[in-house]
Amino acid sequence: MKGTIFTILCCVCAVLPIAAQTAAPEGMALIPEGKFWMGRVYAYDLYSVDVVARDRYDDVPANNVYLDAFYIDKYEVTNADYAKFVEATHARAPWHWPGGKIPNGEERFPVYNVNWSEATDYCKWVGKRLPTEAEWDKANRGGVDRATFAWGDDKFDNSEPQMLAVGPDPKHNPKPVPAALNRNGAMAIGSFPPNGYGIYDMVGSVTEWTSDWFDPDYYRFMPKVNPKGPETGKYRSVRGSNWANSAAGTSGSEKLRNYFRNFADPEARSITLGFRCAK
């Protein structure tokens, strides 16, 4: 009997740390450690053979990058979340909030019109941080490596002015599922089905701040282990497409691609720019 109890205790002790390691904080998803291909892995698409004129080669070459495990918010930070921060720290409310209060019925909408510093401060306040560009990139891919879109390489019907969302399980059902797009602004969080890591709205509602400076030439010589971006810069890296991006046409679909990069002035407050935090 004594032996049985001892054995059970040993098992519990062995399992507890593993359980603690894998249990993600509430509202966050665990992104496992390991390598992934960051950047455009397709050397010869329309752009690189000059069929379509392009002045930016910021997404090549692709690099096989190793990241430690990390957590990232499943949803973008909402107006309701940000209102608590504003109240507690007397930070500046987004300018479009009437009287400093959340617009009616938009509690679960992603917060926007916050600049990079405000986003950084919010993440610190909740004990987190902004994700690096590499972390955002890996999280966005949902475990589908070296693919054009978060749901795989499948093309989509861009004849309709609609944004795209992935199926409920992109690993097993890689067909993109069109979702109606509110083209007048951001949508409530969770408007699009989750990707393979269980993360919502990486492609769709608002573009998101990352902690990195932006350098269009960064991928040429980037570190291959836990890259944290250039040491300095003028703009910050922002990732993900937003409600104002059309999915139609080559340039529209380009913004939905996993490797699409963009940048913004860190002081900018934009109706298309929000964020989520990592840990």
- The answer to whether the peptide bond before residue 227 is cis (omega within 30 degrees of 0) is no
Q: Is 39 in the site for another protein (CB under 8 A)?
A: yes
Kindly tell me which residue out of 220, 234, 251, 265 binds another protein, with binding defined by CB under 8 A.
220
Tell me whether residue 37 or residue 71 sits nearer to another protein (CB atom).
Answer: 37
Position 43 contacts another protein (CB under 8 A): yes
Residue 234 near another protein by CB under 8 A: no
CB of 17 to another protein, least distance (A): 32
Check binding of 217 to another protein (CB under 8 A): yes
* Cα gap 5→10, rounded to integer Å: 9
Helical packing angle, 116-125 and 79-89, nearest 10°: 80
235 binds another protein (CB under 8 A): no
Write the DSSP symbol of residue 216. Answer: T
217 contacts 261 by C-beta, under 8 angstroms: no
Tokens of 37: 């291909």
Footprint of another protein on residues 55-94 (CB under 8 A)?
57, 60-65
Q: In angstroms, what is the minimal distance from the CB of 214 to another protein?
A: 16
In 10 A of CB 145, how many CB atoms?
15
Binding residues for another protein, rule CB under 8 A, total 18
Q: How big is the CA angle at 134 (ends 125 and 227), to the nearest 5 degrees?
A: 95
Q: Residue 25 contacts by C-beta under 8 Å, 6 or more apart in sequence?
A: 71, 279
147 binds another protein (CB under 8 A): no
Q: What is the DSSP letter of 110?
A: B
Distance separating alpha carbons of residues 223 and 200, to the nearest angstrom: 28
Least Å distance between CB 56 and another protein? 10
Residue closer to another protein by CB (options 65, 144) is 65
183 makes contact with another protein (CB under 8 A): no
Report if residue 124 touches another protein, rule: CB under 8 A.
no
Residues that bind another protein (CB under 8 A): 37, 39-43, 48, 57, 60-65, 217, 220-221, 224
